């Protein structure tokens, strides 16, 4: 965390190294602690962690070993492990300056995990124990700014997601409307095609009926046998009447001639 003030954190480690006799018995100030501190100052945090763990194997209650081990973890960006270490130290019955340093470094570790709200609480706890600590005050304000940015980013993300969800919803509605329109158009086309087919069929039927009527009119009418016999009989009757009329006319002519001769 380049923007965090870690100088106090380093000074606290050095304080524990040189003032260890006030915090623990002389056994804790052993070769392993000093070796770990030297590796830490050189920037070899992995080697420092190894030495601090070895020191804790010798004395599990070593505050220096626990505190310095947390620092080695923090420098290797093992923020979660470091936070657990400093949280544990902050809960112990230690001098106020050591507890304040534990809360300060707990805040730094939480900042490394971007857990800004709990980091703010850790810095506040540190300032309750050491109100004049300028580094902790600086980190507290920095944590507040980072929290504000995080919340703003989250709001932007939520708004973007909401806009995206609304856009997807609008697209789904448009898609559904288009599908409904396509279905209606397809149904209308089918109805139009069906109507057109019906019209064609009706037209064909009308044409066929007209043709049949024309053919029937062109062909001579066929009469039944009874009608034919009646017509034949009528012709015979007409013919008979005609013959009788002719005979009658002849008779009249004959009489007239004879009368003339007699005269």
DSSP conformational letter for 26:
G
List the domains of the chain with CATH numbers.
Answer: 7-152 (1.25.40.10)
184-214: per-residue pLDDT in tens?
989 888 888 988 888 888 888 888 888 877 7
CA-to-CA distance for 48 and 34, rounded, in angstroms?
9
Whole-number CA gyration radius for the chain: 61
Dihedral angle of Cα 72, 74, 78, 81, to the nearest 10 degrees = 90
CA-to-CA distance for 122 and 105, rounded, in angstroms?
9
Q: Looking at residue 146, what is its pLDDT?
A: 97
215-255: per-residue pLDDT in tens?
766 666 667 778 878 888 888 888 788 887 777 777 766 55
The CB-side HSE value for 8 (13 A sphere, CA atoms) comes to 24
Q: What is the mean pLDDT of residues 83-89?
A: 96
Q: Looking at residue 212, what is its pLDDT?
A: 78
Would the pLDDT of 86 be above 80? yes
Place of tokens 């030297």: 38
Q: Looking at residue 10, what is its pLDDT?
A: 39
Q: Confidence class of residue 29 from pLDDT cuts 50, 70 and 90?
A: low
User: What proportion of the chain, given as a percentage, has pLDDT over 90?
Assistant: 45
């Amino acid at each position: 965390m380049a923007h965090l003030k870690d100088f106090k954190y380093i000074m606290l480690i050095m304080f524990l190294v040189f003032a260890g006799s006030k915090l623990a018995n002389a056994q804790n100030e052993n070769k392993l602690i000093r070796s770990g501190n030297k590796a830490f100052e050189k920037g070899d945090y992995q080697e420092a962690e190894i030495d601090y763990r070895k020191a804790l194997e010798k004395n599990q209650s070593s505050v220096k070993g626990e505190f310095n081990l947390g620092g080695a973890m923090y420098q290797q960006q093992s923020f979660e492990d470091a936070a657990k270490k400093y949280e544990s130290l902050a809960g112990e019955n230690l001098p106020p300056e050591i507890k304040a340093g534990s809360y300060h470094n707990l805040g730094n570790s939480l900042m490394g995990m971007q857990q800004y709200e709990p980091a703010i609480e850790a810095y506040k706890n540190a300032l309750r124990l050491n109100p004049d600590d300028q580094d902790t005050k600086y980190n507290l304000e920095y944590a507040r700014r980072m929290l504000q940015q995080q919340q703003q980013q989250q709001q932007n993300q939520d708004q973007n997601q909401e806009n995206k969800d609304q856009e997807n919803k609008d697209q789904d509605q448009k898609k559904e409307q288009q599908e409904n329109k396509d279905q209606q158009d397809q149904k209308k086309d089918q109805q139009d095609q069906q109507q057109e087919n019906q019209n064609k069929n009706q037209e064909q039927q009308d044409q066929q009926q007209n043709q049949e009527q024309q053919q029937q009119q062109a062909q001579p009418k066929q009469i039944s046998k009874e009608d034919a016999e009646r017509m034949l009989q009528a012709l015979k009757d007409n013919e008979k009447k005609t013959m009788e009329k002719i005979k009658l006319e002849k008779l009249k002519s004959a009489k007239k001639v004879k009368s003339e001769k007699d005269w």
